[in-house]
Structures are given as structure tokens and as C-alpha cells.
């Protein structure tokens, strides 16, 4: 899903309009895709990415391109940083997965400097508009029990707004961001959706071959067909930004 993360990250940063020369914290950095975009697009003084998964942080450290980025293992619900440390704090495609989102936002506000910019974006899982949306929608259409996505309800724009308005924040603003990603052909798309050991790929792997063939056939109709056999579709993220009260 790296191509999706990069596309939505670019659009999110353009909307966020962060200041240059800022000290950044990225909460839930994963493999560092969004961290790299921050370093490329935003002229930061420094970027710190933090994630609870040691293996992802190790991967992010190996692929880091900029010398002003560093990666920590840690939990956004209990950040290992002092008060008022960062100018800009961002959580890209992760906040709905955090068990205690209120506590996480409280910690983010704590380590933000007064007037600091805080932003988050999440795929609209509640409306099945994530990158896996076409696959999940088609599976439901043919009666397959699709595994739920953790925190899907928290991905709604109204839920993000309620979360931010309940914190020590001002100037809350929201938007929706739609991005398209193209695939060389249907197999390129299918492989991107069924790679790895996930709840949804396990369900597909357990299906009889005939049912898998039916799923693939119906799934084609969910995609926009382009000349030469290429395909594309759109996914949507909900985004929010605010400032820590002075």
C-alpha cells in the first residue's frame, strides 16, 4: 500500500501548509514513507518519527534519506518527550488504530509548543473508501463475511472533529482528500490487495478456487478501465488540523 500512502501524504501535507524550518513529530511513522515526504516537501529543521513496532522502525531507519530525520520506538499514548518540544505534529493513516485516541491526542498536545500545528488524516474506512474499499465492497456483495477494520467508526470526519474539539485546541479545520492510483493491469491491482498475511487475505485464501474466480470477475467492475489494460480507482481520506492553544 506504499503507493497509496505516498499519494495521500503529498495531498495532506499540501493542505496542512506547515511552516518551514519546523521541528516535527510524526506519530505512527511505520516504515517512514510519510517521514520521507515531510523531509522532501516541508524543509523541516528536524523530523522525529515514532512507532510502537520495532521492526517497522528498524526498516524506517534503514531507508532514511535525510540526515535530519530520526526514528524512535514508542507509543503515541505515552510519548517519551518533554512538554512543548515540537512545532508540527502529524499522524498519517494511523489514528483510528490507536486504542485510546483521547489519550493519544492529549499526549500530542502536551509535546506541542503553544500555537503548534497538529494534523491527522485517516482513510474513510466507515464508508469503505480506503484503498481496500473495492475488494471489501465486492466481497460483501457476494455474501462473504469481511473482517472489520479496527476503529472504522473513528475514521468518520464527525468523529475526528469531536476528538479534536474535545482537546486543548483552536482553529480546528477539516477536509476530505480524494486520490487516484493506477495499476498496470488487473493482476497488478489484485497482487497489491492480496499480498501478505492479513485477516482479509486469509479469508480469500480459504475460499474455494471457483469462489475466488467469481470474486475477481466481479471486482473488475469496481475499477475504472484505462487504455492498454491499465486500471485505477479513487480512495478518500478524512483530514483535520488545529493549533495548540497558547
- Please report whether residue 24 resides in a domain: yes
What's the CATH number where 27 sits? 3.40.50.150
Q: Work out how many domains the chain is built from and give that number.
A: 1
- Please report whether residue 164 resides in a domain: yes
Q: How far is CA 235 from CA 5, 24, 70, 81, in A?
A: 11, 27, 30, 34
- Please report whether residue 200 resides in a domain: no
- Which helix (H) or strand (E) segment holds residue 190: the answer is helix 186-194
Structural domain boundaries, residue 64? 2-130+148-180+236-244
DSSP, residue by residue, 37-68: HHHHHS--SEEEEEES-HHHHHHHHHH---TT
- Please report whether residue 158 resides in a domain: yes
Share of the chain above pLDDT 90, in %: 93
Strands 86-92 and 23-27: parallel
- Please report whether residue 60 resides in a domain: yes
Q: What is the pLDDT of residues 73-112, one digit of tens each?
A: 999 999 999 999 999 999 999 999 999 999 999 999 999 9
Q: What is the pLDDT of residues 10-45, one digit of tens each?
A: 999 999 999 999 999 999 999 999 999 999 999 999
* CB contact at 8 A, 97 and 76: no
Amino acid at each position: 500500500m506504499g503507493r497509496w500512502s505516498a499519494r495521500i501524504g503529498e495531498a495532506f501535507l499540501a493542505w496542512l501548509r506547515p511552516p518551514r524550518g519546523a521541528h516535527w513529530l510524526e506519530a505512527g511513522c511505520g516504515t517512514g514513507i510519510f517521514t520521507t515526504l515531510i523531509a522532501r516537501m516541508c524543509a523541516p529543521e528536524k523530523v522525529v518519527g515514532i512507532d510502537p513496532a520495532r521492526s517497522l522502525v528498524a526498516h524506517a531507519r534503514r531507508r532514511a534519506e535525510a540526515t535530519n530525520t530520526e526514528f524512535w520506538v514508542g507509543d503515541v499514548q505515552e510519548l517519551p518527550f518533554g512538554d512543548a518540544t515540537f512545532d508540527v505534529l502529524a499522524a498519517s493513516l494511523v489514528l483510528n488504530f490507536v486504542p485510546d485516541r483521547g489519550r493519544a491526542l492529549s499526549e500530542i498536545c502536551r509535546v506541542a509548543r503553544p500555537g503548534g500545528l497538529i494534523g491527522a488524516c485517516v482513510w474513510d474506512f466507515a464508508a469503505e473508501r480506503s484503498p481496500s474499499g473495492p475488494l471489501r465492497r465486492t466481497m460483501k456483495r457476494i455474501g462473504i463475511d469481511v473482517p472489520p477494520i479496527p476503529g472504522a467508526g473513528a475514521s468518520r470526519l464527525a468523529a475526528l472533529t469531536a476528538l479534536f474539539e474535545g482537546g486543548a485546541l483552536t482553529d480546528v479545520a477539516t477536509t476530505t482528500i480524494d486520490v487516484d492510483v493506477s495499476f498496470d493491469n488487473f493482476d497488478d491491482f489484485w497482487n497489491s490487495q492480496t499480498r501478505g498475511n492479513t485477516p482479509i487475505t486469509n479469508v480469500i485464501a480459504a475460499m474455494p478456487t471457483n469462489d475466488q474466480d467469481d470474486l475477481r470477475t466481479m471486482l473488475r467492475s469496481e475499477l475504472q478501465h484505462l487504455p492498454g489494460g491499465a486500471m485505477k480507482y479513487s480512495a478518500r481520506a478524512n483530514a483535520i488540523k488545529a493549533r495548540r492553544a497558547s
